[in-house]
Structure 1
Amino acid sequence: MTGELSAQATPTELSFEGALRPGSLDEFVGQAKVRKQLRLLLDAATIQQRSPDHILLAGPPGLGKTTLSMIVAAELEKPLHQTSGPAIQHAGDLAAVLSALTPGEVLFIDEIHRMARSAEEMLYLAMEDFRIDIMVGKGAGATSIPLELAPFTLVGATTRAGLLPNPLRDRFGFTAHLEFYADDELADVVRRAARLLDFEIAPDGIGEISRRSRGTPRIANRLLRRVRDYCLVHGTPGDTESVHAALHLYDVDEQGLDRLDREVLYAVVERFGGGPVGLSTLAVSVGEEAETIESVVEPFLVRSGLLTRTPRGRMATRRAWEATGIPMPDAL
């Protein structure tokens, strides 16, 4: 169930979710402050008939960064070119992308913090002056040829804003920090998705899905699809009982914890006496990669108050002991 709840999505899932994506800022649910800021930015650029300032979208996976980039292009009525940081490993890769942009086009770079350093340095000049310098030749005979670019708007998305170098971060005219969704906002997301999928679901069922979605719309949409699949296969209505049965089948408990979450929690509490325990040791004990524990499981457990990170390692909180039902030692 880790893949089911992870905010990272496969290409097939993303194509399915494309049908549920809002097409404008007015349709976008949640992130009210960011929506107002973006609206002002885009309207001002439209009035002045220029490309908007470059935009940086920062926040955890699944909160709508890609969707907002599409909305920016739609609101401006300009084409959108999408790429990702890992795909740009050389300055030449970025030069090929930038030189193909049309005037006013929106360039979206996902996981922009994972771009190659040489490409980042080329991007500095492109963002400020809309030109790049291309080196021709090698050694003493190498020459720099300036290449003018069409004005464009860069929308960068990152899940780890702290890894962006300051010179790159400072060149964005607007930085939006996306926050996790509240349960009532997620309920609106689920309600809208159910309507688009033509799936009738009870109000209590909507609330149950929103509470177990870890504050992430992508997870809420995914759980809704699993509930719809359950009702379709078993021929049951989308009532509360069916929602509970479907989520139980996929190992999603009342707190939104999945199988791997619980394994990590029980490992810290039961095997290591509440901690502290190192990340690598914890990963080996549950048979997962350390990166998966750190980037997928740990953030939610920490945010839920079930786990804490200390200089000596991960430690379980009192709430974690209560959640596992294991008596907390008096010494703790």
Structure 2
Amino acid sequence: MSADRRDGFRSEIREAGDPPEATARVVDAAGTEDERVVEAALRPRRLAEFPGQPRVRDQLGLVLEAARRRGTPPDHVLLSGPPGLGKTTLAMIVAAELERPIRVTSGPAIQHAGDLAAVLSSLDEGEVLFLDEIHRMSRSAEEMLYLAMEDFRVDVVVGKGPGATAIPLELPPFTVVGATTRAGLLPAPLRDRFGFTGHLDFYETTDLVTILHRSAGLLGVDADEPGITEVAGRSRGTPRIANRLLRRVRDWAQVHGEGHVDHHAAREALALFDVDDAGLDRLDRAVLQALCRRFGGGPVGLSTLAVSVGEEADTVETVAEPYLVREGYMSRTPRGRAATARAWQHLGLTPPVDAPQQAALPLADDGPGRLEG
């Protein structure tokens, strides 16, 4: 196909299938974008600066270095894990390490094949396409993405009815970085097209201390080691939560203290914002309270549990449940969610004599019951 004709098809795609909400934005991964939001300012910009996740970091570093030496775009990358662990940050780092621009969009914004075709047709060679929440793409867009990832082309349908013709549009080599909190919901054909899959797990407290020291320096927060350690220990193993709590402790220290984040300021601020000594917040405790007080420890279905705490089922499953299961406060059973002895103890309650003892499903179990977030 000639260059003029190909450009013409790309123009048609943009006009027909590129609504504003589906348009990907181009981000300079190495720039600051004027630090529009605090979270963006706190993101590491290179793989060497990324703390924690040593296995994923080393594996991804190998993939990127090999691609650089070959002079070709790396294999497509899939990052999975609970929210707030650094999937978006790693996607930005991939582009920065490759010294290529990154185009950012999300699964919910790609609801038609035309939306995806408009994004793909405007990619340059070696560009990184970041698809957040990739498991929420429409089925028609997923099928188009299969071909684009494997053969670097999309089929453009011209005309309607019996006279419609599919014309292949060649794409320059590019790299897809997909992020998902629910890898089990990805169809197998899409999952298999990713050359590298990395699962991010919760961070150790020592890694969070390192992150918070760096964040305190960037934010200009005067903090000592006991104060940082106290915040890190209540951050549920999640950097996003740790950075958010650090900012709230800073606020408390500026208003009620002397502007210095120490152990006392951290404890008082976190108590004000309903974060207890174990790092459980209002939603976590509400889930445990419902399990123990309303349902006698369970088992109870996820939907019923979510209604009882006034939240969506997805919120309970992706926000509260991963940490509660990991820390042994709740178990997932074939019959539903159940409270463990540690949950009763944390709430200061005595479990009933006939409370069922349920075994938790393994977190790494693959298939429909897999817990990804």
Say whether the fold is shared (TM-score over 0.5). Answer: yes
1:234 counterpart = 2:271:
no
Mapped to 2, the partners of 1:285 and 1:39 lie a distance apart of 44
- CA deviations 1:242-279 (Å, max 9, x no partner) are 00000000000011111121122112112222222233
Identity %: 67
Amino acid at match of 1:208: E
Query: Which segment drifts farther, 105-114 or 303-312?
Result: 303-312
1:71 counterpart = 2:93:
yes
Mapped to 1, the partners of 2:116 and 2:163 lie a distance apart of 23
The correspondence for 1:180, drawn from 202, 206, 211, is: 202
1:260 counterpart = 2:280:
no
Mapped to 2, the partners of 1:233 and 1:157 lie a distance apart of 38
Q: What TM-score do you get using the length of structure 2 for normalisation?
A: 0.83
Check whether the contact 2:82–2:318 (CA below 8 A) recurs between aligned residues: no
The correspondence for 2:274, drawn from 251, 255, 271, is: 251
- Residues 286, 14 of structure 1: CA spacing in aligned structure 2 closer, same or farther, 3 A cutoff? farther
Query: Which segment drifts farther, 202-211 or 213-222?
Result: 202-211
- CA deviations 1:50-103 (Å, max 9, x no partner) are 111111111111111111111111111111100001100011000100011111
The correspondence for 2:161, drawn from 135, 139, 150, is: 139
Mapped to 2, the partners of 1:68 and 1:291 lie a distance apart of 24
Mapped to 2, the partners of 1:14 and 1:179 lie a distance apart of 28
- Residues 165, 189 of structure 1: CA spacing in aligned structure 2 closer, same or farther, 3 A cutoff? same
Mapped to 2, the partners of 1:42 and 1:285 lie a distance apart of 46
1:191 counterpart = 2:213:
yes
The correspondence for 1:202, drawn from 207, 214, 224, is: 224
Task: Give the CA deviation at 1:200.
Answer: 1.6
- Residues 39, 313 of structure 1: CA spacing in aligned structure 2 closer, same or farther, 3 A cutoff? closer
Q: Secondary structure at the match of 2:246?
A: helix
- Residues 183, 14 of structure 1: CA spacing in aligned structure 2 closer, same or farther, 3 A cutoff? farther
Mapped to 2, the partners of 1:96 and 1:153 lie a distance apart of 16
Amino acid at match of 1:253: D
Check whether the contact 2:73–2:173 (CA below 8 A) recurs between aligned residues: yes
Residues 7-86 of structure 1: pairs in structure 2 closer than 5 A: 15-86=37-108
Mapped to 1, the partners of 2:173 and 2:339 lie a distance apart of 52
- CA deviations 1:201-237 (Å, max 9, x no partner) are 1211111111111111111111111111111222422
- Residues 238, 39 of structure 1: CA spacing in aligned structure 2 closer, same or farther, 3 A cutoff? same
1:276 counterpart = 2:284:
no
Match of 1:316?
339
Mapped to 1, the partners of 2:194 and 2:307 lie a distance apart of 40
Q: What TM-score do you get using the length of structure 1 for normalisation?
A: 0.93
Task: Give the CA deviation at 1:293.
Answer: 2.0
Task: Give the CA deviation at 1:312.
Answer: 2.5
Q: Secondary structure at the match of 1:26?
A: helix
Matched residue count: 320
Task: Give the CA deviation at 1:33.
Answer: 1.5
Mapped to 2, the partners of 1:295 and 1:38 lie a distance apart of 25
Mapped to 1, the partners of 2:169 and 2:156 lie a distance apart of 7
Runs of 4+ in 1 over 3 A off after TM superposition: none
Check whether the contact 2:306–2:316 (CA below 8 A) recurs between aligned residues: yes
Task: Give the CA deviation at 1:14.
Answer: 8.5
Mapped to 1, the partners of 2:77 and 2:303 lie a distance apart of 36
Amino acid at match of 2:255: V
1:150 counterpart = 2:172:
yes
Mapped to 1, the partners of 2:298 and 2:64 lie a distance apart of 49
Check whether the contact 2:301–2:336 (CA below 8 A) recurs between aligned residues: yes
